[in-house]
Amino acid sequence: MAAAAALLWHMAYPSFIPSRSSVVAGTADAVANAPAIIASPPPAVSAVGTAAAGTGVSGAAGQPVAVLPPGVAAANPPGVDDEESLVADLGTGQEYVSVNAGERWPLASVSKLMTAVVASQVLNPSDRITITQSMIDADPTERILHVGDVYTVANLMYIMLLPSNNVAAEAFAQYYGRARFLAAMNAQAQAWGMTNTYYDDPSGLSAGNESTADDLLKLARHVYGEYPQILAVTRTPSITLTNLATGQPVMVRSINAFAGTPGFIGGKTGYTDQADGNLLSIFSYHGRAILVLVMGVSDAVRFSAAQTLFDWFKQNNL
């Protein structure tokens, strides 16, 4: 079933460039038959943890230090005023910066990467979804989607991932069966070893959606290796879609400042009052896929914080 689903999504996104090989093999099986019982969240853990914000593994004056392979030397990375940071090679899993990476933190809209994974597993990209009032109720500030609008699953994926649309995420879940969809999200997280991750809703609006930088590294490796079509969507700067109910074109633009820039493979933004700014980004560097993750950083500087860490990685030829 996983192979058939992958073929359908490849046909829906013919322009995406598949990865040359699966980063992690044997874990892309669909969880469409997950029970309609949402797993209990992990035991409560302080989101901030015991270390001061932005310090984590720290050196002099509270600055983060590099986590490097034996025999590799580099200057310590610049301090970023966030709750968690991680820089890692997705191919090898080697971490180069790890700050508070085991502490749980609200995911916000980074949750939508798992929503996209499960939608890719259990829904046909050509299926048509009609937007209902109960979907709109998930986010009363909605401006793109309206009751009665009709979009294919493939086009709703753009609406969910580019402007980080909460109603589109809710539409996927309600169309499939909300409880069953959330159960599938949590089941997939467990299958991938994301033991400190829990999804309470499909959009990330709930502060109950939590994870750690370590778990998001696992997520990123699987998405990069097994769901390249999702990353292809996230790096799209803008696209014109068709509302099938009206036949009218709808322009959708990305809120990710990295979308469309050279070397950006894909990623996801996230923001809520509880999480502050989160940003998961995957960049290409000399044929390698490099994850740069910041969580709990000021929304105004999350892109510059990620760029600072990636620049440090490149400058040290890691």
Q: Is the pTM of this model over 0.95?
A: no
Tokens describing residue 25: 């093999």
User: What are the residue ranges in the chain where pLDDT is below 50?
Assistant: 1, 14-63, 73
Check if the beta carbon of residue 112 is closer than 8 Å to that of residue 161. Answer: yes
Q: What is the pLDDT of residue 215?
A: 98
Tokens describing residue 38: 């949402």
Residue with tokens 């959330």: 182
Q: What is the pLDDT of residue 11?
A: 58
Check if the beta carbon of residue 267 is closer than 8 Å to that of residue 234. Answer: yes
pLDDT digits (tens, 9 = 90+) for 31-77: 333 333 233 344 332 222 222 333 333 333 344 555 666 555 455 56
Q: What is the pLDDT of residue 267?
A: 98
Q: What is the pLDDT of residue 99?
A: 87
Q: 210: alpha, beta or left, given left = phi > 0 and alpha = psi -120 to 50?
A: beta
Strand order across the beta sheet in which 264-272 lies: 95-99, 84-89, 288-297, 276-285, 264-272
**Cβ neighbour number for residue 14 with a 10 Å cutoff:** 8
pLDDT digits (tens, 9 = 90+) for 74-114: 555 666 666 889 999 999 999 998 888 999 999 999 999 99
- For the CA atoms of 138, 271, 30, 218, the dihedral, rounded to the nearest 10 degrees, stands at -160
Check if the beta carbon of residue 162 is closer than 8 Å to that of residue 255. Answer: yes
Q: How far is 25 from 103, CA to CA, in rounded Å?
A: 27
Q: How far is 43 from 48, CA to CA, in rounded Å?
A: 15
Q: What is the pLDDT of residue 6?
A: 55
Q: Report which secondary-structure segment, H or E, holds 219.
A: helix 213-226
Max Cα separation, the chain? Answer: 62
> Is the torsion defined by CA of 44, 49, 53, 55 positive or negative?
negative
Q: How far is 169 from 237, CA to CA, in rounded Å?
A: 19
Check if the beta carbon of residue 175 is closer than 8 Å to that of residue 124. Answer: no
Give CATH for domain 2-13+74-315: 3.40.710.10
Q: How far is 155 from 146, CA to CA, in rounded Å?
A: 15
Question: 167 Cβ partners below 8 Å, 6+ apart?
Answer: 131, 135, 136, 138, 139, 142, 144, 145
